[in-house]
Structure 1
Amino acid sequence: MGKAAAGNQADMKGGAGGGGGGGKGRSPTPTPNRGNGAVGGGASNAATATTATGRSVRSTLQASKTILKTVSVFLASGKRNSNNQAKASAAAREKRRQLRQRKMDELSGKINPKLLENLRKKTRFSKDELDALCRIYRKLVSNCQYAAKTLSSSSSSAAIVKPHATVEGIDRIVFRELLHSTFDIVTEEILMERIFCSWDKAHEGLPLRLEGWLIGLSTFLRGTPAERAAFCFRVYDLNTDGFITKDEMFTLLRNCLIKQPQDEDPDEGVKDLVEIVLKKFDLDKDGKVSLEDFMGTVAAEPLLIEAFGQCLPTDSAVVSFFSTLQV
């Protein structure tokens, strides 16, 4: 019994060893390495995603830079426009201030140094003479304002005076009285009007302001022969077209002749006179007198400068006027 049990145990060990040996001898069934494949695929997808993300970031940064640049340009442009508007506004305010100061100086008869120097260059007056002439201007303007108030108090003339009541300067009425009483200008109404309108070339027909008054007065009193001749031509050119025509000559000569006709048709005598004067002045023979014709004729014969009526002061009137300036 003991030997049999031992034999059976030996057989069981041998079978177990054979089974173990058989287990070691068989090759194991290969199992697909799904884990390795999944890791490799994930790495490839991650790389692709990283590249796409990098491109998106770069694109976003580029777009951001473009937007920032555009905003910077816009802000800089707005700043420049704002600065330009501020400068323009400041310049406009300064100009208005200067105009207000200039009006105040005109009314008070004062001249600021800059304007005084400018007027000295444009006129033939000294500083003391300009100061005295400004005082005269102030008095004349005061006379104009007083006359305007007097006329405006009348209901019949208020409607006529009102449009001009706020315009500062020397008006027609005071100007004509000055020419008549101070400079011995005795002429027809049409010439008086033309002298007033021709006095200041920059503002024809408007009330005379300080600068226009002084520049015109310089030509009127101390102008060169050429300047005075040009002034007379402007006066005689009734319609301001640059020529003195036969019709204008007829009007001027007819008004300045003594109106005591001895003939049945006095206009015939005026027409004959017009033909004589036209032949004298019309140097280019075109049937009308241009500025060049007038200047050439007057240069040759200075006495013809007032051929169509008086529009310049007498020498004695000029001397008397300057003696009253007290300079």
Structure 2
Amino acid sequence: MAATIKMVAERAGVSVATVSKYINGGNVYEENRERIQKAIEELDYKINEVARSLKTNKTYTIGVLAATIQSSFITSIISKIQYTLLQHGYSTIIADYQENKKLEKKQLDVLLMRHVDGIILFPEENEEEIVRFIKEQNVPIVMVDNMVEGIPCDAILTDNMGGVYTAVEELIKRSHRRIGMITGPEQMYTSRERMKGYCRACEDYFVEVVPELIRYGNYDIESGYRCFMELMELANPPTAVVAGNYYMAIGALQAINEKGIRIPEQLSFIAYDHMEFAGIMTPKISTVSQPLGNIGQVAAERIVQRIKGNMENYPQVDRLKTSLNLTGSVNSL
């Protein structure tokens, strides 16, 4: 016998009206949402998506558009997005365009043809056209981990400036004065924010900002390797280096191994980003960690809020706090 909405209500200990409200995306207390979702899963209750869509004129689907899903950083966030949306009665369509701009537009068209109720975008460089196009379709959009300046949109970011500031501050307190910074494209918002943190920490502690110690790459392994090598080839190389993201850190670590540099005896090293293997490397790599689960949860809740017509504080930019995890890769001079 197929499960009914009444059976779900009885299992969850709520009224049929509350279950119906949950299924149709209405506001339901968190503890009731969890009980209802658990009952739906236990009873294998099948929601009539067609009937629900006809009743509400919504598809209860959210599109997630990202350049790649090969990154553990992005997949961790998407996993939390999916889980949180499920609690609100929404399913997720993930569109990966493999860092191909032409494919990005095609994937976006697919999402729009599926009549998604909203889009969560992980923007790369030069995304102004895509963002404007989405807004022209009157589809709510939330950006994650980056933002397109000049276009009013909700964005969920980490405190890029504050995260790098704390890393550089720690190095300065350990008597480092020549601190290298390798980061992403100079025109990208996250890169500029991280560089602001670097420069502000230096200025606050009266450390000269030396242009030759700053290298811009593409947030990838290859440019991380290249930028680090360029720093080490200086007549007076840095005594410490901060890598702007996971991939640049991997590239830098490849160069460190190739050159036989001992961490932290010869060089202190901090990576900005979640690094899966930081804790098992020798020595363990110090990191500026981002709250990946929290990023995903806030992004999902924000898109649901906008879909329901709640435009309070629009456009809202959330900058979530990072944490500095010091391990064996930082030394005092």
The TM-score bracket by the shorter chain reads under 0.3
Higher helix share: 1
State the TM-score, normalizing by the size of structure 1. 0.22
State the TM-score, normalizing by the size of structure 2. 0.22
Greater relative contact order: 1 or 2 (C-alpha under 8 angstroms, separation 6 or more)? 2
